[in-house]
């Protein structure tokens, strides 16, 4: 097949046509787009593509997952750490529908994916053929774009559009459904032309300088300005531009969980995490600032709490690439549309160099209260059962904030996001908007493929781990190096916390029994250890970090520990509780 591949390259380079299969044209498109890794699971309707892939294994690394949901979460992890488009293969019917949760997750978290699904022959569409599902209508609400190919001649152009749409502007998932006849159809292939324009699609809004000037004027007059930033800074590769803006303006800055790492946790103007389980100061002082500068974030309800009580005293400046986010939840005083990599330097040039020392010290005062009330005991317990926080603290001591931390969803997620050190961008990988349990294990696999020079640590609860633990088989077969920490509190912890606080401790179906996780890992030829005693924790973490290859560490933590601070549902962010 190498000779055939070279013939395709030679003839297309000379502007000659070559007769190839639709399945081969698909793989040529992936190579032209710089794809190196595919996560997938074969089946009948996508079999011609897998047959063609057999001859491309020197150019495309295919990772056989154990479930299509695992495949798409792995694709998300890959995209989030690499900054490239994640690629996922699945067959028709149940294979395609198993992607839906991951598509919804990627859509709300703006993760660029191209998912290829096989489909029944075109003449069978609508007949309820074996493993036929209307994947286009099913996935329309959870994709940035989707399209069904029934003729092989469409494949090069459609794939070019798919990659352009997935990665341009506000990124997102794209699904291309290819009927079996199109996969096996021969056609005259004239080469692959990447897409850089689609009529009526404008991925970046026009930057309007008068709004930038108005924003700068508000910032320069502000006495208590406050920056809140989200993943848009990371997606726009604008970390340096953002850092320059923060340091010149001297404004305290706080982050949403997907924005973590854009500037290091230790940066003196980084005042912590926003949101329901965020830090005390950033939440309280949101309702005291006079100018609120939101950069690449969407004012999610977990960040704002009650909208009718959110930052009503402040002038709001909102920088975002997606015009639909402006005024969607919070009324904006000055909108700055555009890619923040372009808009931030324009704004930085106009803001005055300042230090807001008294205002910054107010944040630090709240931090001191939070340390005394919550953080010290969570990170430095001397008796009783182990806490999740002390595990994260000791992990920080070993990784020095250089690891990629992949979290599942629940109490452990909030603890890890609160206390892990993030010195680098693209180092906090979590399911933000959808909150998908089962995300972390497959996403960590993809994250490692996307950043092979980094230590990848998956932090997972005992409930979420059991949703996708079959992906231990993917680790076993590939030998990928992922460190897995299960923080086992024998509960569905976040739901239990809510039931304790708001339902009079009526613990309804949150007490979960688990298998011997270390034995399960051993069955997949992955070494592991279970830690019950505080004295064993540091040594076990060192063993995990220093192990060659994957390692599973189960840590038995206290059963009924709650994550605080907390903004109760229906409350203002300034009503955040320390206890």
Q: What is the DSSP string of 401-465?
A: T-SEEEE-SSHHHHHHHHH----STT-EE---SS--TT-HHHHHHHHHHH-TTS-EEEEEEHHHH
Taking all residues of the chain, what is their mean pLDDT, rounded to a whole number?
96
Residue 176: Cβ within 10 Å count:
23
b/e map of 461-491 (b: 16 or more CB within 10 Å)?
Answer: bbbbbbbbbbbbbbbbebebbbbbbbbbbbb
pLDDT bracket for residue 39 (50, 70, 90): very high
157/395 Cα distance (integer angstroms): 47
| Rg over CA atoms, the chain | 25
333/176 Cα distance (integer angstroms): 40
> Is 130 annotated in the active site?
yes
Mean predicted confidence (pLDDT) in 45-55? 98
pTM above 0.85, yes or no: yes
Each residue's pLDDT tens digit, 462-512:
999 999 999 999 999 999 999 999 999 999 999 999 999 999 999 999 999
* Residue spans in the chain of domains classed CATH 3.40.50.970: 2-189, 385-557
Task: For residue 228, give Cα distances in angstroms to 8, 40, 267, 540.
Answer: 50, 37, 15, 37
pLDDT at residue number 12:
64
> Is 131 annotated in the active site?
yes
> CB–CB of 351/221 below 8 Å?
no
Where do we find the tokens 């912590």?
272
Q: Quick one: CA torsion of 146, 151, 157, 163, rounded to 10 degrees?
A: 30
Each residue's pLDDT tens digit, 409-431:
999 999 999 999 999 999 999 99
pLDDT at 117 over 70: yes
> Is 494 annotated in the active site?
yes
63/40 Cα distance (integer angstroms): 6
The residue with greater pLDDT, 382 or 31, is 31
Where do we find the tokens 């996001």?
417
Each residue's pLDDT tens digit, 518-558:
999 999 999 999 999 999 999 999 999 999 999 999 999 99
pLDDT bracket for residue 6 (50, 70, 90): low
Mean predicted confidence (pLDDT) in 313-329? 97
> Is 388 annotated in the active site?
no
58/245 Cα distance (integer angstroms): 44
The single residue of 5, 131, 240, 369 carrying the catalytic annotation is 131
pLDDT at residue number 17:
84
pLDDT bracket for residue 579 (50, 70, 90): confident
Beta bridge partner(s), residue 488: 556
> CB–CB of 275/229 below 8 Å?
no
> CB–CB of 498/447 below 8 Å?
no
The single residue of 161, 180, 315, 483 carrying the catalytic annotation is 180
> What is 385-557's CATH superfamily?
Thiamin diphosphate (ThDP)-binding fold, Pyr/PP domains (3.40.50.970)
pLDDT at residue number 3:
53
Instruction: Identify the CA nearest to 141 among candidates 435, 431, 434, 338.
Output: 434
pLDDT at residue number 2:
58
Each residue's pLDDT tens digit, 202-240:
999 999 999 999 999 999 999 999 999 999 999 999 999
pLDDT at residue number 38:
98
The single residue of 2, 130, 217, 542 carrying the catalytic annotation is 130
Residue 439: Cβ within 10 Å count:
32
* Residue spans in the chain of domains classed CATH 3.40.50.1220: 209-362
Q: Top-level CATH class of 209-362?
A: alpha beta
Query: Residue 266: is it exposed, middle or buried by C-beta count within 10 angstroms (0-12/13-18/19+)?
Result: exposed
Mean predicted confidence (pLDDT) in 34-60? 97
State whether residue 60 is helix, strand or coil. coil
> Is 448 annotated in the active site?
no
Strands 18-21 and 186-189: antiparallel
The single residue of 28, 33, 39, 68 carrying the catalytic annotation is 68
Mean predicted confidence (pLDDT) in 116-124? 98
pLDDT at 144 over 70: yes
> What is 2-189's CATH superfamily?
Thiamin diphosphate (ThDP)-binding fold, Pyr/PP domains (3.40.50.970)
Residue 213: Cβ within 10 Å count:
14
């Amino acid at each position: 097949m190498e000779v055939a591949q070279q013939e395709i390259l030679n003839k297309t380079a000379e502007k000659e046509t070559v007769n190839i299969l639709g399945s081969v044209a698909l793989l040529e498109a992936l190579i032209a787009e710089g794809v190196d890794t595919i996560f997938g699971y074969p089946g009948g309707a996508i079999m011609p593509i897998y047959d063609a892939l057999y001859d491309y294994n020197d150019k495309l690394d295919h990772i056989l997952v154990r479930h299509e949901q695992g495949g798409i979460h792995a694709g998300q992890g890959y995209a989030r750490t690499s900054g490239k488009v994640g690629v996922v293969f699945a067959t028709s019917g149940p294979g395609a529908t198993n992607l839906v949760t991951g598509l919804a997750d990627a859509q709300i978290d703006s993760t660029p994916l191209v998912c290829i699904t096989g489909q029944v022959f075109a003449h069978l569409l609508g007949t309820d053929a074996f493993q036929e599902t209307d994947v286009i209508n099913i996935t329309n609400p959870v994709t940035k774009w989707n399209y069904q190919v029934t003729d092989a001649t469409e494949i090069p152009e459609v794939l070019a559009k798919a990659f352009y749409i997935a990665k341009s502007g506000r990124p997102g998932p794209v699904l291309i459904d290819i009927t079996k006849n199109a996969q096996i159809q021969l056609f005259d292939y004239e080469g692959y032309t990447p897409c850089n324009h689609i009529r009526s699609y404008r991925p970046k809004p026009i930057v309007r300088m008068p709004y930038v000037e108005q924003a700068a004027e508000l910032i320069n007059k502000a006495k208590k300005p406050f920056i809140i930033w989200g993943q848009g800074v990371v997606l726009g590769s604008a970390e340096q531009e953002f850092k320059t803006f923060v340091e010149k303006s001297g404004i305290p800055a706080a982050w949403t969980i997907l924005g973590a790492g854009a500037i290091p946790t230790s940066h003196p103007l980084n005042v912590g995490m926003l949101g329901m389980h965020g830090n005390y100061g950033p939440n309280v002082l949101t309702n005291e600032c006079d100018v609120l500068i939101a950069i690449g974030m969407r004012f999610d309800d977990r960040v704002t709490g009650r909208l009718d009580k959110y930052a009503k005293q402040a002038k709001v400046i909102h920088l975002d690439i997606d015009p639909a986010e402006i005024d969607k939840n919070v009324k904006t005083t000055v909108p700055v549309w555009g890619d923040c990599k372009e808009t931030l330097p324009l704004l930085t040039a106009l803001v005055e160099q300042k230090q807001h020392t008294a205002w910054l010290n107010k944040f630090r005062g709240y931090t001191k209260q939070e340390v005394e009330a919550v953080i010290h005991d969570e990170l430095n317990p001397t008796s009783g059962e182990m806490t999740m926080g002390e595990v994260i603290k000791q992990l920080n001591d070993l990784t020095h904030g250089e690891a990629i931390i992949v979290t599942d969803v629940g109490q452990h997620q909030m603890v890890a996001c609160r206390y892990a050190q993030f010195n680098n961008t693209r180092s906090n990988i979590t399911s933000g908007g959808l909150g998908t349990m089962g995300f972390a294990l497959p996403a960590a696999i993809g994250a490692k493929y996307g950043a092979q020079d980094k230590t990848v640590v998956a932090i997972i609860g005992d409930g979420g781990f059991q949703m996708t633990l079959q992906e231990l088989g993917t680790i076993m077969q590939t030998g990928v190096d992922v460190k897995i920490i299960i923080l086992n509190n024998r509960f569905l912890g976040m739901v239990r916390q809510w039931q304790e606080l708001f339902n009079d401790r009526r613990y309804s179906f949150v007490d979960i029994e688990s298998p011997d996780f270390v034995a399960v890992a051993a069955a997949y030829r992955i070494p592991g250890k279970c830690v019950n005693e505080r004295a064993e924790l540091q040594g076990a973490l060192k063993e995990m970090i220093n192990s060659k290859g994957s390692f599973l560490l189960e840590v038995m933590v206290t059963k009924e520990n709650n994550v605080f601070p907390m903004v109760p549902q229906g409350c203002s962010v300034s009503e955040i509780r320390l206890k």
